[in-house]
Amino acid sequence: MLEGLVFGWRTAVLLVAAVQLLAIAAALARSMVNRAANRTLAVLLVVLAAMITPWIIGFAGFYDRWPWLTFAPFQISLAVAPLFWLYAVALVTGAWPRRGALHLIPAAVQLIYLSGCFLLPLEAKWAWSDRSDLAYGVLTGSALIAGFAGYGRMSRDLISTYTAALADHVGDDHRYAPRWLRNAMIAAAILFPIWAGYSITGLFVPVSYHAYMGLYLTIAGVALFLAIEGWRHAALPFPRLADLATPAPAVSPGRDWQVQGQTWAEAIRMGGWAAEPGLTLAQTARLLGTNSSHLSRALNDGLGVNFSTFINRLRAEAVAAAMADQPGHTLLDLALAAGFSSKASFNRAFSERFGAAPSAWRARLTS
């Protein structure tokens, strides 16, 4: 049954990647938090696992052993870019956009085309493959590049908008800032035009089958990065973008926002409210007896900082003061007591506030 098949290192490496992608996809599909986003990511991971499947079985000799596998509808490349964008939208808004499924029409057409070709008799498959490969490769390659350009730009704008909104409303915005999405998007933006270039070049210039191994290893690597980061953040209750919108404050003629900002800043400092890890703009406004829009304007226009920067400066200052008063405590203990939720966010905020790493600052104090 397995005569003529060769299970070498290429098949093994890609197979391990595909199995991991499918395992994470199965786990994400059962997640009850961020359901729309996690299920979208699960579908995307299945699509990416399917993308490398022809090379898994091809390197093993499946197509030589069973030539009827020609046109098997594994590579639905036109689904990748819209699914990535739909995942980003669902992550920050809680749901797909209205008529979001329409963005998958090109992928559906690609699936129908490949499925139709797959059902042809073997001789007809080969004849059609010889006649259609060039046009199919050019069309899908061009659509792939256009899709990643368009959906990449929309994803970038969405992530930037969400990151800015987080900084204005949440003190520990780093927990929710989807930097991993931006990194995956950058990797994909580099990868997929190269991928399309490989496909189109192969239609005009003979390219060794094994020469594609580096490309598909890269595809598997990008997919695994997205899968692991998506799983790490799967249960994190992301604030919804709509909830982060701040209405414009009512016009207050003659109001000095700088003075107001300084007054409220001192009240926040004296109240020690920054020590609350999950502190938000709305909570702080309620404590001050005002509303979110006025507090946001006092910080942005009056003090020139967003909410996150302001709160994390207060926390960094609290740690700096505690270093002298509590020399026996570790930096992490002091950071957590001040309201930081992670060492990374503490190091970043402290360095921005004092121009030195926390350990270097403590060393100065002790010396």
For residue 312, the domain's CATH number is: 1.10.10.60
- Domain for residue 3, yes or no? no
- pLDDT, residue 224, reads 93
- pLDDT, residue 109, reads 97
What is the per-residue pLDDT across 51-110, written as a single tens digit (0 to 9) for each?
Answer: 999 989 988 888 888 889 999 999 999 999 999 999 999 999 999 999 999 999 999 999
Q: Are residues 33 and 73 in the same domain?
A: yes
Q: Are residues 209 and 302 in the same domain?
A: no
- Domain for residue 4, yes or no? no
Q: Are residues 13 and 161 in the same domain?
A: yes
- Domain for residue 119, yes or no? yes
Residue 51 makes CB contacts below 8 A (sequence gap 6+) with 74, 75, 76, 77, 80, 219, 223
- pLDDT, residue 87, reads 95
Q: Are residues 222 and 315 in the same domain?
A: no
What is the per-residue pLDDT across 326-346, written as a single tens digit (0 to 9) for each?
Answer: 777 888 899 999 988 888 888
- pLDDT, residue 1, reads 52
- pLDDT, residue 250, reads 56
Q: Which of the four pLDDT bands, split at 50, 70 and 90, describes residue 176?
A: confident
- Domain for residue 1, yes or no? no
- pLDDT, residue 23, reads 97
Q: Which of the four pLDDT bands, split at 50, 70 and 90, describes residue 285?
A: very high
Looking at every residue in the chain, the average pLDDT score rounds to 88
Q: Does residue 33 carry a pLDDT above 80? A: yes
- Domain for residue 262, yes or no? yes
- Domain termination residue (choose one: 225, 242, 259): 242
What is the per-residue pLDDT across 218-271, written as a single tens digit (0 to 9) for each?
Answer: 889 989 999 999 999 998 888 898 888 766 655 566 678 889 989 999 999 999
What is the per-residue pLDDT across 181-198, written as a single tens digit (0 to 9) for each?
Answer: 888 878 777 777 777 777
- Domain for residue 169, yes or no? yes
- Domain termination residue (choose one: 223, 242, 261): 242
Residue type, 157: D
Residue 300 makes CB contacts below 8 A (sequence gap 6+) with 168, 306
Q: How many domains does the chain have?
A: 2
Q: What's the length of the chain?
A: 367
> Please, where are the H alpha helices in 30-178?
35-60, 62-65, 80-93, 105-118, 122-169
237 or 27: whose pLDDT is higher?
27
Q: Are residues 190 and 316 in the same domain?
A: no
- pLDDT, residue 253, reads 61
- pLDDT, residue 316, reads 92
Residue 237: phi, psi to the nearest 5?
-75, 85
Judged by DSSP in three states, 280 sits in strand
Handedness of CA 328, 333, 337, 343 (dihedral sign): positive
DSSP assignment of 30-69:
T--SSHHHHHHHHHHHHHHHHHHHHHHHHHHTHHHH-GGG
Q: Are residues 263 and 237 in the same domain?
A: no
Q: Are residues 148 and 274 in the same domain?
A: no
Q: Are residues 210 and 325 in the same domain?
A: no
Q: Are residues 22 and 166 in the same domain?
A: yes
Q: Are residues 230 and 283 in the same domain?
A: no
Which tokens hold the place of 341? 């939720």
- Domain for residue 208, yes or no? yes
Give the domain CATH number at 146.
1.20.1070
Q: Are residues 213 and 96 in the same domain?
A: yes
- Domain for residue 226, yes or no? yes
- pLDDT, residue 310, reads 93
Q: Which of 99-113, 166-180, 282-296 has the highest mean pLDDT?
A: 99-113
Which residue in 273, 264, 268 sits closest to 339, CA to CA?
273
- Domain termination residue (choose one: 222, 242, 262): 242
Instruction: Judge contact between 279 and 171, C-beta under 8 A.
Output: yes
Q: What angle do CA 35, 170, 254 make, to 5 degrees?
A: 135
Per the structure, the complete domain to which residue 107 belongs is given by 9-242
CA–CA gap between residue 193 and residue 141 (Å, rounded)? 8
Least confident of 19-33, 216-230, 320-334: 320-334
Q: What angle do CA 164, 189, 186 make, to 5 degrees?
A: 40
Q: Are residues 14 and 122 in the same domain?
A: yes
Ramachandran bin of 289, using left for φ above 0, alpha for ψ from -120 to 50, beta for the remaining angles: left
